[in-house]
Amino acid sequence: MRLCMISLDAVAQPDADRLLRLPALSALKEQGVYCDNVRTVYPTLTYPIHTSLITGCYPDTHGVGHNQPFQPDTPPDMRAWYWTLADIRVKTLHQAAAEKGMDVASILWPVTGKNRFIRRNFPEVLPLPGENAAVKMVRYASPVWLLRMEALYGRQRASIRQPHLDDYAALLCEKLYASRRPPEVLTVHLVDCDAMRHQYGVDSPQAHQAMERLGDRVARIVRAVQRAGLERDTLFCVVSDHGQQDAPRGIPLDRYLQAACGARAQSLGMGAYIFGDDLAAARRAIEVHREAWGVARVFDGPALRAMRAPGHVALAVDALPGCCFVDREEETFGEHGFALDCPQARTLLWLCGPGVKRGLKLTEANVVDIAPTLAKALGVHLPDAQGRALTEVFCD
């Protein structure tokens, strides 16, 4: 059994009808298993969710509780992200497959830098101001393979921005499956729609065009598997991580808290973690200024533990509709980081391939169920997984 896992960033249950009008995604639904009610994890940020997708664990267990470590005194543009495998505290699907002797490849998947279990790796790693993008990527990726791909195909990529980067990701997938040794496990993260929604808004023409491009890229990858003669041996898994909401009102909550009581806020977008020596004082300040600061709800320790939030977080807030928390003055549009009861926190899953039932729609699932389900199909073990294998998707 082979695995081709494709992540569609920033689409969710409210986008299902539009996505299912795209031929490639419609075909996967008809030929396999589909669910439009997959509960994601808190916080609803890309890196924690993608780590859950390949570990089957919640952020309080796998250790990636944000896109970035908390760096309150570092300028926002200079903050490091969770880029490397060393940031994950549990076994990943990549590791389990590699330890079984499977050939693993990955394109733009978060938190995969410096990953010895991925033979051909182009991780999602962003250059900070003053850093050279190519030099940094070589440090975190599979350097020989990446440099060879760049020499052969780099001129076909107009830039390292979206949508050009996703186009290049799809091209690399095609070349991997056309190679003499196609990967037995491939994970690819497509970010186009997330970029367009952040920049232009959730229902903007640019976001709708990005969804069309996602469908085209999924089709390209499926056709590459078919051309390689591997379709009958390949399990296709298409997932999403979170949706977005329009949140044009940006509120500098960290600045407000510092001035009021010395506490600090780490933005989640439409939410924030609150840190400080006196969280009771921080909570009182938030209650006094709740509406002016754009706060809808306050989550204390018990509420956060129930959501399986990172263990070091004891206080957090959720934003009012249309609001988001920002670290610098900037124009904002689509955002996420909201709580789990938002419709955009219900995500999507397609499974299609050998041993998978045809035409089955699951009523519900959880993001942490996906890795154990794929591990079962591949015959590998994830000892730390907290989700369950969705055994009902497999034929008897």
Residue 262 per-residue DSSP state: S
**In this predicted structure, what is the pLDDT of residue 330?**
65
**In this predicted structure, what is the pLDDT of residue 328?**
77
**In this predicted structure, what is the pLDDT of residue 283?**
98
Which whole-number Å values give the CA distances from 155 to 151, 171, 206, in the listed order?
A: 8, 12, 25
Query: Where does the chain have alpha helices with state H?
Result: 16-20, 23-31, 46-55, 59-62, 93-99, 133-140, 143-153, 164-178, 192-200, 205-227, 253-261, 279-288, 301-306, 370-378
| E strand or H helix that includes residue 234 | strand 234-240
Task: Go through the chain and tell me how many residues it has.
Answer: 396
Residue in this structure with the two tokens 């907290």, named with its chain if needed:
386
Domain 2-243+344-393 CATH class label: alpha beta
**In this predicted structure, what is the pLDDT of residue 333?**
84
Domain(s) labelled CATH 3.40.720.10 in the chain stretch across 2-243+344-393
3-state secondary structure of 113: strand
> How far is 331 from 201, CA to CA, in rounded Å?
11
Its pTM stands at 0.98
Per-residue pLDDT for the chain (396 aa), expressed as one digit of tens each?
999 999 999 999 999 999 999 999 999 999 999 999 999 999 999 999 999 999 999 999 999 999 999 999 999 999 999 999 999 999 999 999 999 999 999 999 999 999 999 999 999 999 999 999 889 999 999 999 999 999 999 999 999 899 999 999 999 999 999 999 999 999 999 999 999 999 999 999 999 999 999 999 999 999 999 999 999 999 999 999 999 999 999 999 999 999 999 999 999 999 999 999 999 999 999 999 999 999 999 999 999 999 999 999 999 999 999 999 998 766 668 999 999 999 999 999 999 999 999 999 999 999 999 999 999 999 999 999 999 999 999 998
